[in-house]
Chains A and B, each alone.
Chain A
Amino acid sequence: MLFGEVGPLGGAAWTAPAVRSGWIQGLRTLAQHPSALRFLAACGAVDTIFSLQGDSSLFVASAAGQLLVHILDLAMRGPARGRCSPQACDWPACAQKIVCHIEDSLCSIATPQVTQALNVLTTVFGHCRGLWTQGLWVRLSPLVARLLEKDPVPASHSLVDLLLSVARSSVPSSDRGLWETLAQTLSHLSPTQAGPLALGILKLQDCPQALRTQAFGILLQPLACVLEAAAQAPGPPGLLGGAAGDPMTADTLLCSKSACVGLLCCALTHLGLLQPLPQRPSPWPQAPLLGAAVTVLRLCSGSVAPTSDVGGRLCAILVGCGRVQRAALDFLGALSQGAGPQESVTQVFSVLLEYLMSPESSSMVLKKAFQATLRWLLSSPKTPGCCDLDPRTQLFLRELLPVLQKRLCSPCWEVRDSGLEFLTQMTRHCGGQAGFRQALLASEVPELTKQLLQDPESYVRASAVTATGQLSSWALLAAPASPERPGAQQKSLLVELLHVLCADSEGFPRRAVMQVFTEWLRDGHADVAEDPERFVARVLQAASRDPDWEVRAQGLELALVFLGQLLGPRGSHCPCAVALPETAPPGTLAQALPEAAPPGTLAQALQVLCRVQLFEFAFRALFDCDRPVAQKSCDLLLFLRAKAAPCGSPQEAGDSPNVASVEATLQRWQAGEQGQPLGYLEPGAVMAVLRSIDLEGLRDTLAESSDHVEKSPQSLLQDMLAAVGVLGENEADCY
């Protein structure tokens, strides 16, 4: 026998879960054809798989369930592909056997067995598309519905998964009874269990309105209870149109701290996920939801003291609870996508400010508060007729900046960093708005940001580099420069960032500098535009020596931007066709070239590239021991060659001694001896060398990850041969 007790189950190796797992995997590979299936079924394989569903290993049990689904699907597709009758009595014996097993399991009083059956069915309805699945549901749905009659409902999570899986399949088109089952399930499950089902229902594209209303009610209930409990006096109709909160939800909220926290976090998360979806319920109760989020946050901070008994108890449970604070701040951030009445928005800003100021806020809570604040600020309406911030937002900003200032001095690096990230994003989006500029320049935030370039924590230094770079792009870094030394402060930032690039011991700040520089070059930052050639030369020189390959790769990115500006963007073939002074963006190299007449010729551009030693950098990078650098360099040189080719070769120097020496040096570099410099290159020699290198071949080699060598059959065979009888001692001596 191949299966059963006398088969694999009796073997000693069977006790190892890895063996059982491998056995299932093997069986799955085998069961690809109906005849193989018939053979397996005849040998009793299916019974063994049934027993493996209850395996002590989660992995084995789950794999066994999936294999059953695979076998069922294969059996049903059978010889008459796709035309299996929905009538269960006509199904193949193997499928009948599996379905009977599922039926027995669904009727079992043991929850694990019910769970197994539900999980198998979830996979069936999630993955199998045949008409027969509808027949299967007709046959099994009464058994599934009967589970709801039990108290408590067994395997409720798996039941929810199954019902959602069925609802997403083709079944609802044929069985309207499903909606009824879903409605019943919603009302039978506890508020915590029903949450995921409610969210799933609301995400469905097509389902009856009454069910959607019921589901939405479940998600809103916990927040409705909170609003009701915290109300000082009967206010406007709340989340549920004035209807009283569900007593079961209120009980869950008040029975224990963990139940309350769990339910509230789920409700907040689910509603937050629903908010941006097009199929979210309409009308969306934006104002009461904002009120609820603010109330939850105030209960957590202890800044409201509800007079009611229930409110008092809720306050005692929630005060200082970081988990709810984090979930509520995320939710509040998500709500920024919808408009709200003026009063609510004022409350939102005030609660955010309260959190940002509070000494009780943990670093994670502060991070989320900054993120929510950013979202609200970016979504706040602009003053009509002008692109500036509205007066309320402006007022908020004026209150916010001193808080940010304080947070930038926090002893926690996490807080300083979150503050800088917030500032960077704010500046990126609002740098041009007068209100923001005014408020920022009136504060000490820019100066503090600059000081953080010296922060002991490298993450913070990197964020400070990005923030100062962004501030500088919008000319927000310094107080108005003195008339005697215009732009003096700005210049010093360039020098300072160059110093970071050359001297910082950590990679993050150096990488951040390279990103800022690339952005500056691309956007035509004033300091760069003054003398782009010198700027590029200095940056490339520093980047080429960097031990961090990502800095070197970013150096190539910058070089590519420079090339684009010099020779025209990718896609346009010949630089001769690009009228540089007209098409280049303001402040780029093209403007800085007028003295090098005539502009736009390849020879001139090559001269510039040689002067900034871009070729030395790119060739060195071509043989870099880190693959991404070599790949990027290869792309850059291919781009350059493509640009130059159609124009013919200026001063072709194919066989000059210069070319031979360059090629010899490159060969040495390729062999790993990178000590010798390339020296000054003539443009002609560069082009000749470029043509002589097999860049395409190199690109193909580099495109293959190093795994291709290790995974080659030969390499694996060598590994196996070598492993026999060796290494016994070393195996577990790790790390």
Chain B
Amino acid sequence: MPEIRVTPLGAGQDVGRSCILVSIAGKNVMLDCGMHMGFSDDRRFPDFSYITRSGRLTDFLDCVIISHFHLDHCGALPYFSEMVGYDGPIYMTQPTQAICPILLEDYRKIAVDKKGEANFFTSQMIKDCMKKVVAVHLHQTVQVDDELEIKAYYAGHVLGAAMFQIKVGSESVVYTGDYNMTPDRHLGAAWIDKCRPNLLITESTYATTIRDSKRCRERDFLKKVLIPVFALGRAQELCILLETFWERMDLKAPIYFSTGLTEKANHYYKLFIPWTNQKIRKTFVQRNMFEFKHIKAFDRAFADSPGPMVVFATPGMLHAGQSLQIFRKWAGNEKNMVIMPGYCVQGTVGHKILSGQRKLEMEGRQVLEVKMQVEYMSFSAHADAKGIMQLVGQAEPENVLLVHGEAKKMEFLKQKIEQEFRVSCYMPANGETVTLPTSPSIPVGVSLGLLKREMAQGLLPDAKKPRLLHGTLIMKDSNFRLVSSEQALKELGLAEHQLRFTCRVHLHDTRKEQETAVRVYSHLKSVLKDHCVQHLPDGSVTVESILIQAAAHSEDPGTKVLLVSWTYQDEELGSYLTSLLKKGLPQAS
């Protein structure tokens, strides 16, 4: 029985470390290869030893697909390809391919700098890993091999994020990665066509949330000071937001962004402008939305300048580098404020202050008293419950599987999906395998001649009703064609042989053979009113293709032998007649 198997190694009832193994029609694909920001030991990467016990990964996996550049989706990639030893192809969109190495490099630097890790992947490994990447365009069908094909769809969320359809023959799986069904200031909404996959694997971060409009959040956003962000992604959304607000309100306080990053971001957003939303694309000719009037490059010395300012600094969780430096400087003043625009994992200063800690033990046994205001404001770009339902409605899958969310919230969404769409919904934990039986449909081409013959019989085809069609199935070069028997004989250069079944029926009848045949004829004529029953001049009787001949019994003159013979097409009628004749003929009146 063919089946689709899905095993999350990460992101199963969990957020972070996305890594999902899919086995479809004998092909094995890994969806995302992320890391977990909450761990700094070997738990940060998925346990790849579970992928296969049968030798090398490169021989087992047909390809790896990365949905977008966030580290929880690609952070383990260099480790997987250069240290664990996967040597096959890696697919991602072009923006992801361009931005991924920057974030991986950033991550490596932090791991080596802050944690002092020696056995971590190197810059060279990141580069070697990126060389294995094959870039895909939106809506382009990419043939991984003769049987496996993939196709990318726009996912919103961050620049270059994509959903992927994986197809082998008639079986398909769609993996959404992270997506957003509502457009924001710089990106459009996710979209997928009605591809009716066997399985839709969707993220479910906001499985129970229906989010408020963005407007009220924007109104709160006024007197901020330090905004720790990651280099690319939400940072650009926030920059556009502030730029627009400053313009509208004619504000004078300077906004700074860590040196080099604005340039880098601009570069990529300009390069991949088709990936942004319509408004940005439209205005691009007159004004590049990523060239900011109010946002200037930040210099270390500015941190000591008096007066108000807003500073975007990396990294986003206040765990190292410039954002932490500025935070340490400004934490003591209650007039200052830090806004955390996203999630912070345990162990980071960001996590500590969000959980209400006000006295932080810093390195060197210093205690830092946090007097500044601490705010949390979500600018994460995931689909909410409504959006997820919308996507399921759009794709019309046969089954749904939830990943990248918390178990409790998933449970709620699972029920909702099952009720509304009448499809099975699964939510495996990490390491659990979901197996879905599939009935593969095998496409068969029907010859024009055969179709014309069917039409000639006056039966117009009806798309909604299955129709029985007789013909000869020719299987050649993995193609299936149904043609008329005559055409098949001609094509294959074969002679026709007719296969007939024969059966002897003994009748007690003392009359001559000819008379027995007449009696048989009359009996059948009376019983089989809808069939064409004939008495031929040679004395034999026919019913359709069935031939009945009467002969004398060699030993018993009081018994006649009826030889009944029929072709395989009339097998049913043949057996019926035999059983009818076996019952004997009615007495002559």
Contacts and interface: CB of A to CB of B under 8 A. Distances in A.
A732 B406 contact: yes
Contact of A735 (B342, B348, B351): B342
B363 A417 contact: no
Contacts of B342: 733-735
B355 A727 contact: yes
B127 A417 contact: yes
Contacts of A712: 361
Interface string A326-367: 100000000000000000000000000000000000011001
B223 interface: no
A248 interface: no
B114 A627 contact: yes
B421 interface: no
Interface string B310-335: 00000000001110110011000000
Nearest to B38: A734
Nearest to A257: B146
Given A326-B87, A734-B342, A17 B429 contact: yes
A70 B108 CA distance: 36
A16 B432 CA distance: 11
A332 B50 CA distance: 30
Interface in A704-735: 705-707, 709-712, 714-715, 718-719, 722-723, 726-727, 729-735
A489 interface: no
B7 interface: yes
Contact of B352 (A511, A719, A734): A719
Contacts of A16: 407, 429
Contacts of A673: 304
Interface residues of B, number: 82
A719 B346 contact: yes
Interface stretch (A258-266, A425-433, A580-588): A258-266
Interface in A687-718: 701, 705-707, 709-712, 714-715, 718
B169 interface: no
Contact of A18 (B7, B56, B205, B429): B429
A196 B113 contact: no
B589 to A, nearest CB: 67
B343 A730 contact: yes
Interface in A417-473: 417-418, 459
A735 B343 contact: yes
A433 to B, nearest CB: 26
A21 B409 CA distance: 22
Contacts of B109: 549-550
B354 A730 contact: yes
Contacts of B362: 709
Given A157-B53, A674-B300, A675-B301, A547 B146 contact: no
A269 B56 contact: yes
Given A628-B112, A734-B342, A57 B355 contact: no
A730 B376 CA distance: 8
Contacts of A709: 361-363
B493 interface: no
Nearest to B361: A709
Nearest to B148: A258
Contacts of A376: none
Given A58-B432, A732-B343, A672 B329 contact: yes
A547 B113 contact: no
Contacts of B357: 718-719, 722
A635 interface: no
Contact of A549 (B113, B405, B432, B433): B113
Contacts of A414: 130-131
Given A57-B432, A58-B7, A733-B378, A628 B116 contact: yes
A675 B361 CA distance: 26
Interface in B51-73: 53-56, 58-59, 70-72
A550 B113 CA distance: 9
Contacts of B206: 732
A489 B145 CA distance: 49
A733 B209 CA distance: 11
Interface stretch (B257-265, B438-446, B452-460): B257-265
* Consensus secondary structure, chain A interface: helix
A173 interface: no
A258 B89 CA distance: 16
Contact of A719 (B59, B304, B355, B432): B355
Given A16-B407, A701-B364, A732-B406, A364 B132 contact: yes
A670 B89 CA distance: 48
B115 interface: yes
Contacts of B16: 734
B224 to A, nearest CB: 18
Interface in B264-286: 264
A161 interface: yes
A505 B376 contact: no
B488 interface: no
A364 B123 contact: no
B205 A732 contact: yes
A367 B131 contact: yes
Interface string B392-407: 0000000000000111
A705 B71 contact: no
Contacts of B432: 17, 56-58
A262 B28 CA distance: 13
A399 interface: no
Quick one: which of B37, B50, B123, B320 has the most chain A CB within 10 A? B123
Contact of A727 (B87, B205, B304, B354): B354
Interface string A150-165: 0000000110010000
B161 to A, nearest CB: 11
Interface string A510-552: 0100000000000000000000000000000000000101100
A542 B361 CA distance: 34
Contacts of A715: 361
A626 interface: yes
A130 interface: no
Contacts of B114: 627, 705-706
Nearest to B404: A732
Contacts of A158: 53
Given A414-B131, A735-B233, 18 more contacts: A16-B429, A56-B432, A57-B432, A58-B431, A157-B54, A459-B127, A508-B123, A511-B123, A625-B324, A705-B115, A718-B357, A719-B346, A719-B347, A727-B355, A730-B354, A732-B343, A735-B342, A735-B380
30 contacts: A17-B431, A18-B429, A57-B431, A58-B7, A58-B432, A59-B50, A258-B145, A262-B59, A266-B55, A417-B131, A459-B127, A505-B264, A547-B259, A549-B109, A626-B321, A627-B116, A628-B116, A672-B325, A675-B300, A701-B363, A705-B116, A706-B114, A707-B115, A710-B348, A718-B352, A719-B352, A722-B356, A723-B355, A734-B342, A735-B380
Interface of B: 7, 15-16, 26, 37, 40, 47, 50, 53-56, 58-59, 70-72, 87-89, 101, 105, 109, 112-116, 123, 127, 130-132, 145-147, 178, 205-206, 233, 259-260, 263-264, 300-301, 304, 320-322, 324-325, 328-329, 342-344, 346-348, 351-352, 354-357, 361-364, 376, 378, 380, 405-407, 409, 429-433
Interface of A: 16-18, 56-60, 62, 157-158, 161, 195-196, 257-258, 262, 265-266, 269, 322-323, 326, 363-364, 367, 414, 417-418, 459, 505, 507-508, 511, 547, 549-550, 625-628, 672-675, 701, 705-707, 709-712, 714-715, 718-719, 722-723, 726-727, 729-735
